[in-house]
Structure 1
């Protein structure tokens, strides 16, 4: 792959040197973002960011493993019952050569092309939201998690971990940016969107809605189905060893502060960001939108009813939410009164874009965090941006506005993806999305584009596999670490890197480094990180940091939680080798 020559002389009409001069002469490897051919249907950042973490000339690059899972991973200290966490041994790096043979001596030859951080599936959650279906726990214990009230302090601790990194783990190179690959929020609520923007860019957050004086939801309902942390009631979770923590709920809705990322950050949309509860179409039933801000909340239903509703969600048979509307109406007499709150209203795709473009949430940029006014005008949520001189990033919108939590791409976006890769064939490419290749089997028409065909993950793989410049497809959604080699046409190949969530244990994010081994191969290094919260918890510590530590431990012990989400050794800390295109 030859070096980039003239991407900046695109439809922008702006020379790359001019762009960099306006940004204070920042190096291209700083992860600045500017548009690649922005038109009515394809747009990226419209202004560069004059910030990146730079290594000084006097400081030679060296691997930096402190604070990563190479050094230590949270692990249980006892073998039964409610398990307390502590410091466990780190995960070693695994070299994977399915797509190219690793050659000896490459560590001494390699140069870094880019290094960045992926966050995914934060699921920042308004746990008092009236539409939430916590009552499904009667059918499946993991449909409600004891840790859910702590998503905001947990995410802030992850930001603190990223801020504390001094360089990339494998190469020591500067980290260029952070990309979040969707499900940034959970219930498609304005309250959650505001919290997400402040977590990422900095600010004070009160993770509370409804009554400003106290929590009102399932965790002080007196129902044994849910962990009642403040009460002496022996609920189902306390029977499994969960503690009584007096003052937990008051602490959970107390104001916290995020420092914001000290790197530029970009955003990708997920189904929970675009659809009500992550499942119901953006043009769904009006009843649900009104119920979201209303004063009634359903907290308990018979197990048989919960099982039927859960089946309709999992099978995607109620994409517009009409069945859920009828379900809520049928159980209206069982609802409890809560404080109405307009901040819980669902946000639209335009609202999502406007929040990213709001100067109040710019942080260290770039302006729009990947999105631009052209996205607003066209009604799109996909874009391309320059990562470094040799690498571009492409952020896709894989949600299906027709409903259901699985994804797909419309024809216009798939063609745009193919065209963007062709137009930038002299640059390597990293593709970002929320959904994985195996979770893009929902091809319902988009209500806004009823005549447009939707395309599956297999079709996206075919497009990516036709381009020699694609190195990796980075995504989330499945809440599990999984790295898959893909062999395209004509010997072309790339890696699909799916990363676990930050709502389910083990609460991970991933650092990705791209290097040229100078021997006809490239390597993609992946290194997982946990939040900055200590592994050990103290039940008497309900500070912001103490809550973030408790968030992880509660998630480990959550009834019904899968214990395999960390993936195998080859899905965690890796070196993924590729042939040069």
Structure 2
């Protein structure tokens, strides 16, 4: 019996594309994967607001489509309220469980790795585009049977005590984006938001529905299984996990985690999302594409287990270590050894309420869910994807950012299994053709994986004869096109910005930390023309709208969003590392004008 469900797709508009005249145009990217790392195709149609274009379509000019962000003169006053330029959440001094407070913001660092910044540029600049990147939201169905919480027996950070609050945290991030009256450097309006993958955590229909509702607006009940109460590791009585409603001295309470009576009931209570007030686009990540972010689709046992009435909640340290090493070493990409382990542990499983909504979804269903009119929100219809993507089995596309800038969303997941990525030959050729077609416009490329995490060239089961290409190949291709300004991505749950110089041009790779690990950040990106032969990319990190300080008696939606941040700060002690160095945070990245 199939354990996947289809979502109704909507029809889209006619195919067309924008071509600017040469005289007017300028030359123109943890879930399981993160937690377990020891260290850090067929062409799809283009997508532009209200219109679409097939890559095989004629290159003849057509009526221009309305851009997401028109180029504009810069207002005199920046808008920094609510950004990390103004303040950041930081743990107070002490040991054990530390409460959060407000600390001074992070200053902006000017980076001249690729071009020297010239004086007076602030007075000359004009805005090309301004937008927000959200990444690695990891909306988690924390009661899902297929989760690997028991890996905490081998790795203390393999399970997070705040996993039941991902929906509340994501809604608070949406509230922050909506509250930004303009971009922090230029004051320009934010044209759109892009999520760069791992929007869900476990390739489950429950999580996909929650993600789409968070982004587009509506009510969410972040619960599955029994509608009356929580069924999972946090009320299991097992001391390996934080038992918030219990007075028992579990491993977390021994470190100072609080006893919060009523926490689990509040965590699964209905949440209201206002939805983003700006158009938003979606890029796919490995946790969106595969169960647990690392296992290829196809095993009927795992699909049945996902919706069934048994859940494994504990495992010996030795078995947990072997499973972790198999995942991180990519020794079981199809999940066959994992299936055998579950079968061997049947008698140790606990009963839970079965739920068909926990079924895994296919890539085509992921695309069709985005096309569902119920989730259009502020648009565009499909959020970048088209019905042609669903028909072709692809998840990459182009879209208009502004008159001068094209956006390109890639699919860097490897369907053959494992959490690191790659791209197929067909997609790589499509990208090359797209950049060449739009060579008179600047380009920003989005993906989930970073250049260093695209090391998995396992064949795609649907295209076994197609070669897969790693991050070095993608860097080389982007460097052959002078119009590429930036590659924006996530996956590594860490802020990192790196310069790249290619055979024809240079660009910045901008990797942003996740919203499931502290410090829980998103990033505003502003593209400006300095009118002196250079361009600047301004990056500014933002936190959710939830207050930095928490009140343990406040289990409201906002109170839980604050607690989500504070619990994440205490879940692991490497927040400073994940936030990156100062030149990975709030920056001005200078480029030569192509």
TM-score (normalizing by structure 1): 0.92
Q: Which residue of 1 aligns with 2:369?
A: 355
Asked if the contact 1:202–1:258 (Cα under 8 Å) also holds between the matched residues in 2, the reply is: yes
Q: Which residue of 1 aligns with 2:158?
A: 143
Superposition pairs of residues 441-460 of structure 1, within 5 angstroms? 441-460=455-474
Q: Does 1:233 find its partner at 2:248?
A: yes
Note closer, same or farther for the CA distance 1:54–1:63 as it changes in structure 2 (3 Å cut): farther
Q: Which residue of 2 aligns with 1:251?
A: 266
Note closer, same or farther for the CA distance 1:49–1:202 as it changes in structure 2 (3 Å cut): farther
Q: Which residue of 1 aligns with 2:10?
A: none
Match of 1:163 among 164, 178, 201: 178
Q: Which residue of 2 aligns with 1:327?
A: 341
Cα distance, 1:35 vs. partner?
5.2
Q: Which residue of 2 aligns with 1:522?
A: 535
Aligned counterparts of 2:129 and 2:17: Cα–Cα separation in 1:
23
Note closer, same or farther for the CA distance 1:146–1:40 as it changes in structure 2 (3 Å cut): farther
Aligned counterparts of 1:13 and 1:35: Cα–Cα separation in 2:
6
Aligned counterparts of 1:248 and 1:528: Cα–Cα separation in 2:
30
Aligned counterparts of 1:450 and 1:274: Cα–Cα separation in 2:
18
Q: Which residue of 2 aligns with 1:185?
A: 200
Match of 1:12 among 11, 15, 20: 15
Cα distance, 1:12 vs. partner?
3.3
Larger mean CA deviation between 559-568 and 180-189 belongs to 559-568
Aligned counterparts of 2:343 and 2:435: Cα–Cα separation in 1:
49
Superposed CA offset, 1:345-374 (max 9, x none): 001101101110000000000010000011
Note closer, same or farther for the CA distance 1:238–1:245 as it changes in structure 2 (3 Å cut): same
Q: Does 1:93 find its partner at 2:108?
A: yes
SS of the residue corresponding to residue 487 of structure 2 reads strand
Cα distance, 1:559 vs. partner?
4.1
Asked if the contact 1:126–1:192 (Cα under 8 Å) also holds between the matched residues in 2, the reply is: yes
Aligned counterparts of 2:75 and 2:507: Cα–Cα separation in 1:
30
Superposition pairs of residues 195-214 of structure 1, within 5 angstroms? 195-214=210-229
Cα distance, 1:225 vs. partner?
0.1
Superposition pairs of residues 98-109 of structure 1, within 5 angstroms? 98-109=113-124
Q: Does 1:176 find its partner at 2:191?
A: yes
Note closer, same or farther for the CA distance 1:55–1:535 as it changes in structure 2 (3 Å cut): farther
Note closer, same or farther for the CA distance 1:184–1:14 as it changes in structure 2 (3 Å cut): closer
Superposition pairs of residues 403-422 of structure 1, within 5 angstroms? 403-422=417-436
Asked if the contact 1:123–1:502 (Cα under 8 Å) also holds between the matched residues in 2, the reply is: yes
Match of 1:565 among 567, 574, 578: 578
Asked if the contact 2:200–2:208 (Cα under 8 Å) also holds between the matched residues in 1, the reply is: yes
Cα distance, 1:562 vs. partner?
5.1
Superposition pairs of residues 109-128 of structure 1, within 5 angstroms? 109-128=124-143
Q: Which residue of 1 aligns with 2:588?
A: 575
Q: Does 1:508 find its partner at 2:524?
A: no
Superposed CA offset, 1:212-235 (max 9, x none): 000000000000000000001000
Asked if the contact 1:188–1:276 (Cα under 8 Å) also holds between the matched residues in 2, the reply is: yes
Aligned counterparts of 2:430 and 2:469: Cα–Cα separation in 1:
13
Q: Structure 1: where are the runs of 5+ without partners?
A: 1-10, 18-30
Superposition pairs of residues 311-322 of structure 1, within 5 angstroms? 311-322=325-336
Q: Which residue of 1 aligns with 2:90?
A: 75
SS of the residue corresponding to residue 565 of structure 1 reads helix
Aligned counterparts of 2:183 and 2:238: Cα–Cα separation in 1:
47
Asked if the contact 1:402–1:447 (Cα under 8 Å) also holds between the matched residues in 2, the reply is: yes
Aligned counterparts of 1:517 and 1:113: Cα–Cα separation in 2:
10
Note closer, same or farther for the CA distance 1:62–1:255 as it changes in structure 2 (3 Å cut): same
Aligned counterparts of 2:382 and 2:83: Cα–Cα separation in 1:
29
Cα distance, 1:478 vs. partner?
0.1
Cα distance, 1:38 vs. partner?
1.4
Asked if the contact 2:145–2:311 (Cα under 8 Å) also holds between the matched residues in 1, the reply is: yes
SS of the residue corresponding to residue 499 of structure 2 reads strand
Aligned counterparts of 2:546 and 2:469: Cα–Cα separation in 1:
41
Aligned counterparts of 2:584 and 2:341: Cα–Cα separation in 1:
40
Asked if the contact 1:187–1:278 (Cα under 8 Å) also holds between the matched residues in 2, the reply is: yes
SS of the residue corresponding to residue 514 of structure 1 reads strand
Asked if the contact 1:159–1:200 (Cα under 8 Å) also holds between the matched residues in 2, the reply is: yes
Aligned counterparts of 1:225 and 1:563: Cα–Cα separation in 2:
26
Cα distance, 1:77 vs. partner?
2.2
Asked if the contact 2:410–2:445 (Cα under 8 Å) also holds between the matched residues in 1, the reply is: yes
Note closer, same or farther for the CA distance 1:411–1:16 as it changes in structure 2 (3 Å cut): closer
Asked if the contact 1:40–1:377 (Cα under 8 Å) also holds between the matched residues in 2, the reply is: no
Aligned counterparts of 1:452 and 1:321: Cα–Cα separation in 2:
22
Cα distance, 1:376 vs. partner?
1.2
TM-score (normalizing by structure 2): 0.90
SS of the residue corresponding to residue 382 of structure 2 reads helix
Aligned counterparts of 2:537 and 2:72: Cα–Cα separation in 1:
24
Cα distance, 1:79 vs. partner?
2.1
Match of 2:301 among 252, 269, 287: 287
Aligned counterparts of 1:158 and 1:14: Cα–Cα separation in 2:
33
Asked if the contact 2:75–2:188 (Cα under 8 Å) also holds between the matched residues in 1, the reply is: no
Match of 1:476 among 490, 493, 505: 490
Q: Which residue of 1 aligns with 2:441?
A: 427
SS of the residue corresponding to residue 426 of structure 1 reads coil
SS of the residue corresponding to residue 439 of structure 1 reads coil
Asked if the contact 1:52–1:263 (Cα under 8 Å) also holds between the matched residues in 2, the reply is: no
Q: Does 1:298 find its partner at 2:298?
A: no
Aligned counterparts of 1:384 and 1:200: Cα–Cα separation in 2:
20
Aligned counterparts of 1:239 and 1:422: Cα–Cα separation in 2:
59
Cα distance, 1:81 vs. partner?
1.6
Aligned counterparts of 1:128 and 1:472: Cα–Cα separation in 2:
38
Note closer, same or farther for the CA distance 1:40–1:206 as it changes in structure 2 (3 Å cut): farther
Note closer, same or farther for the CA distance 1:101–1:204 as it changes in structure 2 (3 Å cut): same
Asked if the contact 2:75–2:186 (Cα under 8 Å) also holds between the matched residues in 1, the reply is: no
Q: Structure 2: where are the runs of 5+ without partners?
A: 1-13, 21-46
Superposed CA offset, 1:452-498 (max 9, x none): 000000000000000000000000000000000001114x1000000
Cα distance, 1:48 vs. partner?
11
Segments ≥4 residues shifted beyond 6 Å: 14-17, 47-57
Aligned counterparts of 2:460 and 2:271: Cα–Cα separation in 1:
38
Aligned counterparts of 1:32 and 1:382: Cα–Cα separation in 2:
13
Cα distance, 1:15 vs. partner?
6.8
